[in-house]
Amino acid sequence: MTIRDVADRAGVSTATASRALTGSRPMSPDLRDRVLAAAAELGYRVNLLGRALRQQRMSVIGLVVPDLENPFFAALAEHLSRVVEPSGYELLVASAGGDVDAEYRGVQSFLGRQMQSLVLIPCDEEGSRASLDAATAEVVTVQLDRRVASSDAVYVGCDNAAGMDLIAEHVRAHVDLAVQPVVFVGAGTRSSSARERLEGFRRHFPDAPVLLGDFDVRWGQQAADRLLDDGWTSGTLVAAADVIALGLLSRLQSRGFRVPGDFRVIGFDGVGVTPLAHPELTTVRQPVEAIAQAILDVVSAGTPEHSDVRPAPTLVVGPSSPAD
């Protein structure tokens, strides 16, 4: 079965059938549906390997994430997949497991498969430079969420400083800091996102306590235990990520403290584990839709207009730190 057969069945030209099947150009939904229906009836499939040999590149975007245990990275992959699929791209995902050597091997594996472009969430601000250099030498490469400042690869990610500005505005407007003093519970600064959020917090609250660990629920639980064991009975806990906030919430409540009555908890990300929080989190929501669209724009253009794209986040107010 050939594309000519599909075109004849749909009553269109071969070129039109090709565009409909590959999604390479916009066309009316009715026309595309007619071609796709004809292909389904005839059992026709696009030969992706043959197309890749003709174009020298497969219409595939490779995404390498630090780990898939972090639900935020899984959520980013989901949103990116939704945005790129209608444009004719496929998204393949690899996890580095938090290891820069595994990250490098994943990048090399994708490059060996003749990917159209590569998106990397770097494991380490310095150690991921080799992976980015290898990718940028061959394909359009985007750094997502985290950044290696010394790399020439375009960066697309949330404006973390603006997110911390939103949290500071909320705290000053709705929290009595004499009763619920503010504490930052963040992650180590191997990643730019952790460092930028810490710097943003310190800019507003330079004298507030800071606890640093990892981007995971267990660290949030450990941080809550540390504060409670040190005698804290109330406070406003600003977490560098919703996964940390989830750990804080669970441990505070399991030890008999009320949220927000005793402790307020504020997160950062707004996707992934956020719906699992009880009570619902006040959190900075990353503009994941705008971020995914910006990545598609870079991939489609081939030559990015800007080297640094930072869509602004929004604050979502929930019961964990109400505006009252």
State whether 234 and 120 are in the same domain: no
What global pTM score does this model have?
0.78
Helices and strands (H, E) in the chain, number of each type = 12, 12
> pLDDT 10s digit of each residue in the chain, 324 long?
688 888 888 888 888 887 777 665 667 888 888 888 888 888 886 654 455 444 444 578 899 999 888 888 888 888 898 888 887 788 889 999 889 999 999 898 888 877 788 999 998 888 899 999 989 888 889 999 999 988 888 999 999 999 999 999 999 999 999 999 999 999 987 788 999 999 999 999 999 999 999 999 999 999 999 999 999 999 999 999 999 999 999 999 999 999 999 999 999 999 878 888 899 999 999 999 999 999 988 888 776 666 889 999 999 999 999 997
The alpha helices in the chain, defined as continuous H runs, are: 3-10, 14-22, 29-42, 48-55, 71-84, 100-112, 129-136, 160-174, 192-204, 217-229, 242-254, 288-301
Q: Which of 217, 182, 212, 181 is nearest to 195 (CA)?
A: 212
Name the domain boundary from 138, 156, 174.
156
State whether 150 and 221 are in the same domain: no
Domains: count for the chain: 3
State whether 151 and 232 are in the same domain: no
State whether 141 and 171 are in the same domain: no
State whether 105 and 214 are in the same domain: no
Q: Which of 133, 151, 168 is nearest to 315 (CA)?
A: 168
Domain boundaries, position 107: 55-156
State whether 39 and 141 are in the same domain: no
| 24 occurs within a structural domain | yes
